[in-house]
Amino acid sequence: MGGPMATNLAKAGYDVNGFDLVAPAPNGITRAATALDAARGAAVVITMLPNGTVLREVAEQLIGALVPGSVFCDCSTIDVESARAVAVMAARANIDALDAPVSGGVGGAVAGTLTFMVGGTEAAYGKIKPLLDVMGSKAVHCGPSGAGQSAKICNNMILGVTMVATCEAFALADKLGLERQKMFEVVSTSSGSSWTMNSYCPAPGVGPTSPADNGYKPGFASELMLKDLRLSQQAAEGVDADTPMGLLATGLYADFVETEGGKGTDFSAMLPRFEKRSRRI
């Protein structure tokens, strides 16, 4: 995700230094020897990291290298508490911190059509908004620190639950003898319509092109959906929120990824999973 985001900033004329433990520097990016070298003296630092623990470690390294008034913007999808902890850390150094997770996947990062959900101060959001406009097609300031992660977690809980329901419905339609294309034509324009049906249909050859048409190679991997669903349940437990559908979807994706061979497939590969199953209740 970070590579194409950085590429779009460079294409727009920004001077971009980058660091990644594995990936090579994209064209137009100056590769730094370390993350600290990439961040030193920068007006804005943007991170895209795997989890909250790594973010906290990276933030501890980098914030001291930034000049007061600069912006530390994390675009990872992580737990709300880690986002808030980094904001406190940054404030002590007179650095603006934003949590700005994204929606749109690798395709959206390449195309510059990501949606950013941003938590932090209005002032910090204003500083970085021109960069967000380069990397995405929409940015929403959701509130104070942690609000961006809260929005992302809620969004992806809906996404996971909806994909499970969409895949279940296609598997049911198959057994009822209903053609998938006919089901799509009805549901996509009826009360059952959703993004997972209309824009990311899990049935190959139906609707707009999606990972289902490419052997379920991941646009958004099943293990990443599981990560986000677990974050939703961690957050729900922390605030005593009842999320039974989110909890059920988490369990289904856990089984799919950890015991049923779903790791490395797109999260829409739940459809062939349901095709093979009989009723268990």
Active site residues: 152
60: Cβ–Cβ under 8 A, 6 or more apart, which residues?
A: 89
251: Cβ–Cβ under 8 A, 6 or more apart, which residues?
A: none
CA dihedral (158, 160, 164, 166) positive or negative: positive
- Euclidean distance between CA atoms 234 and 228, whole angstroms: 10
For tokens 């729900």, the residue is 236
232: Cβ–Cβ under 8 A, 6 or more apart, which residues?
A: 153, 154, 156, 157, 243, 246, 250
Count of Cβ atoms closer than 10 Å to residue 30 Cβ: 13
193: Cβ–Cβ under 8 A, 6 or more apart, which residues?
A: 187
Are 72 and 95 within 8 A, CB to CB? yes
Instruction: Record the tokens describing residue 267, joined without a space.
Output: 């999260």
Give the three-state DSSP class for 73: strand
- Euclidean distance between CA atoms 48 and 27, whole angstroms: 18
Rounded to 5 degrees, what angle do the CA atoms 253, 259, 261 make? 85
Give the E-state strand segments of the chain in sequence order.
17-18, 30-31, 44-47, 71-74, 96-99, 102-103, 114-119, 136-143
